[in-house]
Amino acid sequence: MKQIKVLGPGCAKCKTTYNNVLQAIKETGVEAEVTKIEDIEEMMKYDVLTTPVLMIDEVVKVKGRVADISEIKEFLTA
């Protein structure tokens, strides 16, 4: 099972990234646990300054922009 984290303070881009992750999971059928991290102190532990951040299995895949559904699907099936 993939571990997916979306880091961001709850801005529009962060919400879009989170929703894109859910849609990509639905379309691929990949089993994944999705965690949304909005707490600033928690985000600091990951040493990222620009949000939103998409992490899959503790690896930063996208930061500072919204991840496309097609892009997320590629990460999930790679």
Residue 62 is a catalytic residue: no
CA 52 and chain centroid, separation: 8
Question: Annotated catalytic residue: which of 3, 10, 11, 39?
Answer: 11
Q: Which of 14, 24, 37, 72 is catalytic?
A: 14
Could you give the angle at which helices 12-28 and 69-77 cross, rounded to 10 degrees? Answer: 50
Annotation says 9 is catalytic: no
Torsion angles phi and psi, residue 35, rounded to 5: -120, 135
Please identify every residue annotated as catalytic. 11, 14
